[in-house]
Amino acid sequence: MVHTKFCAEFGIEHPIVQGGMQWVGRAELVSAVANAGALGFITALTQPTPEDLAKEIARCRDMTDKPFGVNLTILPSINPPPYAEYRDAIIDSGVKIVETAGFNPAEHLPAFRAAGVRVLHKCTSVRHAVKAQELGVDGISIDGFECAGHPGEDDIPGLVLIPAAAEKITIPMIASGGFADARGLVAALALGADGINMGTRFVATQEAQVHDNVKQRMVEATERDTDLIFRPLRNTARVARNAISRQVVQILEEGGQFEDVRDLVAGNRGRIEVLENGDIDGGIWSAGLVQGLIHDIPTVAELVERIIAEAEELIKGRLAGTVGA
Ligand SMILES: Cc1cc2nc3c(=O)[nH]c(=O)nc-3n(C[C@H](O)[C@H](O)[C@H](O)COP(=O)(O)O)c2cc1C
């Protein structure tokens, strides 16, 4: 048993979180995470409409009676999704935990607070974490440069970002980006966090609804097999390195604009060609450096149990053994 104030605040058994993942954060995975005693998040925008989100929440509830949450990723865009309607679908469905990410969650906090929803805000810098704490969120997920998806533009890896955030954050805080196993969990606790958030590691589990080729690729890949795309546009995303990611990096480095890569990076292309059809060079898909630490495709329960059991061994054994005479 590894118990922290994050577990107490969010009402879960283990201090392990499965963060929102576009096209991956569906009921099968999230309910498996909940049943394993960890905290999973359905990804709101994976569902085409707020009504579909309500159905996905109901489907998840059919598969678990443990707590789970919903991720609301707020990305400024020309034609934004109806965020307020997605938010209201979450509240009306009775979900009590939300992961916000991508942007300042201020606009949505009064509604969440009025409904008794706890908000875990994920961000990639100490200043944004401090701001969210001031706004009154209930927890922080601090996401280092190692992470899959959007690491921000500061490029601060977890080894510095996590303790730097811990110096300023007094509410429960979990560490994100680059975590896959017990060593990471114990390190995160030592650095001042109250648990870990994982994305990439949970994609390579039995319950993730993605093609087996993607999971196998994660097992084969090393820590060197990611690319940072959109760097020149200052909207960096860490993705699995493949034929398309190489092309996108090259076009943008040579002065190309978003229009020049729009078709290559289309979300639906990644979803259909890669995640559904299993063509790992068919489009863009998110993955983190931590691919280099993934060597198998366990069930979610096996993964969570293994991390907790090995973390206990590590703390009571190797670490305890280094102290004293
Ligand atoms: C396939 C995939 C899709 C993701 N999509 C989202 C998303 O829609 N919203 C979000 O907040 N984070 C998203 N993330 C980031 C994760 O929630 C998490 O912060 C990140 O994966 C942590 O780093 P790690 O992959 O090293 O564990 C995604 C990650 C992956 C692997």
pLDDT digits (tens, 9 = 90+) for 233-284: 999 999 999 999 999 999 999 999 999 999 999 999 999 999 999 999 999 9
Residue whose CA is closest, atom 6 of ligand 1?
21
Tokens describing residue 128: 């944004």
Same domain for 99 and 139, yes or no, is yes
For 22-43, write each residue's pLDDT tens digit. 999 999 999 999 999 999 999 9
pLDDT, tens digit only, all 325 positions of the chain: 899 999 999 999 999 999 999 999 999 999 999 999 999 999 999 999 999 999 999 999 999 999 999 999 998 777 899 999 999 999 999 999 999 999 999 999 999 999 999 999 999 999 999 999 999 999 999 999 999 999 999 999 999 999 999 999 999 999 999 999 999 999 999 999 999 999 999 999 999 999 999 999 999 999 999 999 999 999 999 999 999 999 999 999 999 999 999 999 999 999 999 999 999 999 999 999 999 999 999 999 999 999 999 999 999 999 999 998 6
163 and 280 assigned to the same domain: no
Ligand 1 pocket check for 24: Cβ under 6 Å? yes
Q: Are residues 100 and 237 in the same domain?
A: no
Cα–Cα distance between 243 and 84 in angstroms, integer? 37
Same domain (yes/no): 150, 195: yes
Q: What pLDDT sits at residue 79?
A: 84
- Tally of structural domains, the chain: 2
Which residue of 23, 147, 238, 265 sits with most ligand 1 atoms within 8 Å of its CB, as the best mutation to test the pocket?
A: 147
- What was the pLDDT predicted at 233? 94
Q: What is the Å distance from ligand 1's center to 73 Cα?
A: 10
Specify whether 253 is located in the same domain as 157.
no
Please tell me whether residue 271 adopts helix, strand or coil conformation. helix
Query: What secondary structure letter does DSSP report for 65?
Result: S
pLDDT value of position 325: 63
| Bridge partner list, 72 | 100
Q: Which two tokens stand for residue 81?
A: 């999704």
Q: Kindly state whether residues 171 and 237 are assigned to the same domain.
A: no
Answer positive or negative: Cα dihedral of 115, 116, 122, 126: positive
Query: Greatest CA separation found in the chain?
Result: 64
User: Does the CB atom of residue 177 touch ligand 1 within 6 A?
Assistant: yes
Q: Are 110 and 255 contained in the same domain?
A: no
Residue in the block written with tokens 């978003």 = 258
Task: Please check whether residue 39 is in contact with residue 67, taking contact to mean a CB–CB distance below 8 angstroms.
Answer: yes
CATH number for the domain harbouring residue 186: 3.20.20.70
DSSP 67: -
Examine the domain organization and report whether 270 and 170 are in the same domain.
no
Integer angstrom CA distances of residue 211 from 11, 64, 146, 259: 32, 24, 24, 29
- Domain range spanning residue 12? 5-209+296-322
Of 4, 36, 3, the closest CA to residue 173 belongs to 4
User: Ligand 1 within 6 A of 178 CB?
Assistant: yes
The structure tokens 């440069």 sit at 145
3-class DSSP state of 113: helix
Residues 308 and 270 in one domain: no
14 and 77 housed in the same domain: yes
Mutate which of 18, 21, 124 to test ligand 1's pocket (most atoms within 8 Å of Cβ)?
Answer: 21
Whether 149 lines ligand 1, by a CB cut-off of 6 Å, is yes
Pocket test for ligand 1, best of 225, 265, 285, 286 (most atoms within 8 A of CB): 286
Residue type, 219: V
Evaluate the CA torsion angle 229, 178, 143, 59 in order and state its sign.
Answer: positive
Are 71 and 105 contacting, i.e. CB atoms less than 8 angstroms apart?
no
CA distance 157 to 144: 5
pLDDT of residue 76: 72
**Residue 205 and residue 250 share a domain:** no
Distance (angstroms) between ligand 1 centre and the Cα of 316 equals 31
Same domain, 95 and 227: no
Which own/partner contact pairs does 108-111 have at CB distance under 8 Å and 24+ positions apart?
108/72, 108/74, 108/83, 108/84, 109/135, 109/136, 109/137, 111/84, 111/87
